[in-house]
Amino acid sequence: MIDLRSDTVTAPSRAMRTAMAEAAVGDDVFGEDPTVLELQAETARLVGKAAGLYVPSGTMSNQLAIKSHTDPADEMICEAGAHIMNYESGGPAFHSQVQLHPLQGNLGVFTAEQVEEAIRPRNVHQPPTRLIAIENTHNRAGGTIFPLEEIHRIHDVAERHGVQLHLDGARLLNAVVATGIPAHEWAEPFDSVSICLSKGLGAPVGSVLCGSETFIERAHRYRKLFGGGMRQAGIIAAGGLYALRHHVDDLRWDHERARRLAQTLNRLPGIEVNADDVHTNIVIFDVDDQKGSGAEIEERLKRAGLLCLAFARHKIRLVTHRDLTDTDIDQAIQIFQKVLA
């Protein structure tokens, strides 16, 4: 079975498993796990922040950031297709009692002008705008890259209004590899940054939330409150460290393969995807109504040996990742030609 559902399906390699088995560990709730401390410091350094916090998932990382930046009944701006808004189970309402203010972006990208308009005036009738979240790369828009110049313009608006900026950088390293712009430059305008290790990087578990010492102190307290304090977590953190040290550059192969898939799909009748909009490892294509619904196509592809995700009634998502080979991609192309032509 060729699994293009997500880059989260990647399994640890033999070398990563060895690093995990040999990791030095301690009780991380006492702050005594040397491997967790190393991973936190190394990730914080990578994104140019003072401190980092290892957490079980990207979802917890984003939710801790929201909790640490806001008070109940505050408002947070994000893009309408943001993971935080669509795939975190209503977390902002549940954990932080925060109201979301979605902006309609273009391929996941909104502008400083939209932000300026969305920020509420200080007035007892309105919820204070406290936080803006940017997703880079943007999952639902198809792994698209949020331009750095626009991030700087949004940062200027945010700073003028005293609003904090959070980066859902679950796949930030894909943006780094695709553009050559280092992670610390992408992260510089943000007050907090979340990086996932368990997606294209191939570690089995975990994300790291980074920010100032004070911010991470708050997030640390909430991590305990959310039940995310782990004990000998060095075992899994070692997989994350291994991924950061050995797997980042390989992301470019995922990008190349995603582009190849997009180019092939676009040649099939009734399928639409602009290969120029495929910036990294995610391909989202539209399927003509006559070919059936997304769910039906997902099922037909599955029967032919390929797993994907129907993302909307007529949209299918494919994600390339390090556990695929070139032969898998060749085979995937043959399956698409057979099932979708």
What residues line the site for ligand TLP (CB under 6 A)?
Answer: 6, 8, 57-59, 62, 83, 87, 135, 139, 168, 170, 196, 198, 207
| Minimum distance, C-beta of residue 273 to ligand TLP, in the bound complex (Å) | 18
Query: Taking Cα atoms as reference points, which of 246, 195, 252 lies closest to residue 17?
Result: 246
* Dist CA 230 CA 227 (whole Å): 8
Residue nearest to ligand TLP (CB): 58
Q: Give the residue with the Cβ less far from ligand TLP, 53 or 119.
A: 53
Q: What is the DSSP letter of 147?
A: P
* Dist CA 209 CA 61 (whole Å): 6
The pair of three-digit structure tokens given for residue 252, joined into one six-digit string? 């470019």
| Minimum distance, C-beta of residue 119 to ligand TLP, in the bound complex (Å) | 23
| Minimum distance, C-beta of residue 169 to ligand TLP, in the bound complex (Å) | 8
| Minimum distance, C-beta of residue 8 to ligand TLP, in the bound complex (Å) | 5
Please identify which residue in the block is written with the tokens 């032509």.
341
| Minimum distance, C-beta of residue 69 to ligand TLP, in the bound complex (Å) | 16
Kind of pairing between the strands at 2-3 and 51-55: unpaired
Q: Give the residue with the Cβ less far from ligand TLP, 87 or 226.
A: 87
* Dist CA 27 CA 138 (whole Å): 35
CB neighbours of residue 215 within 10 Å: 22
| Minimum distance, C-beta of residue 168 to ligand TLP, in the bound complex (Å) | 5
Q: Give the residue with the Cβ less far from ligand TLP, 58 or 234.
A: 58
Q: Give the residue with the Cβ less far from ligand TLP, 35 or 139.
A: 139
| CA separation, residue 194 to residues 20, 53, 129, 314, 325 (Å) | 22, 9, 21, 31, 29
Q: Give the residue with the Cβ less far from ligand TLP, 223 or 291.
A: 223
Q: Give the residue with the Cβ less far from ligand TLP, 7 or 28.
A: 7
Residue 243 DSSP SS3 = helix
Residue 51 DSSP SS3 = strand
